[in-house]
Amino acid sequence: MKVYKEYKEIEIKDIKGIKANKICGRNLEKVCRYIEAIKKEGIKKPFEVIQEENGYYVLDSRIRLLAAKAVGYDKVPCLIRDTKQEILLRKLNKIFKLEDENHEIKDDINGEERLNFYKNNYYKLNIL
């Protein structure tokens, strides 16, 4: 499950994780295709990044980001992922799973059942 903090345009120079010297023959074709697509249609899909102390780190589409840089973009649209929230949600999801009498996990619970289950198991959430 992906959780995003915000959407904003970020300068390419502030995004880490792309290295132009890592382009090989196989990737060069992809870069060229992305360059043509970006020239024709612009950037349709934002890049996923995480925020770090010294800037941002790209999580996907490194080759597409290189292509945007080659076309001349200074800023690109980005979705900033909230990894702390994602980890918390994964932990909560594990707590809220129900087990049957054979200790096999059933489906998630929803709505009022989740609220009651939360109230009954509040102490488990304090260990997070």
Q: List, in order, residues 6 or more apart from 57 with CB less than 8 Å away.
A: 15, 16, 17, 49, 50
Going residue by residue through the chain (128 aa), what tens digit of pLDDT does each one get?
Answer: 687 888 999 999 999 887 766 667 777 888 899 999 999 999 999 999 999 888 899 988 888 998 999 899 999 999 999 888 877 777 766 665 644 445 455 555 555 555 565 555 544 444 44
Q: CATH assignment of 4-82?
A: 3.90.1530.10
Domain boundary assignment for the chain: 4-82, 96-125
SS3 call for 66: helix
Does this model's pTM top 0.75? My answer is no
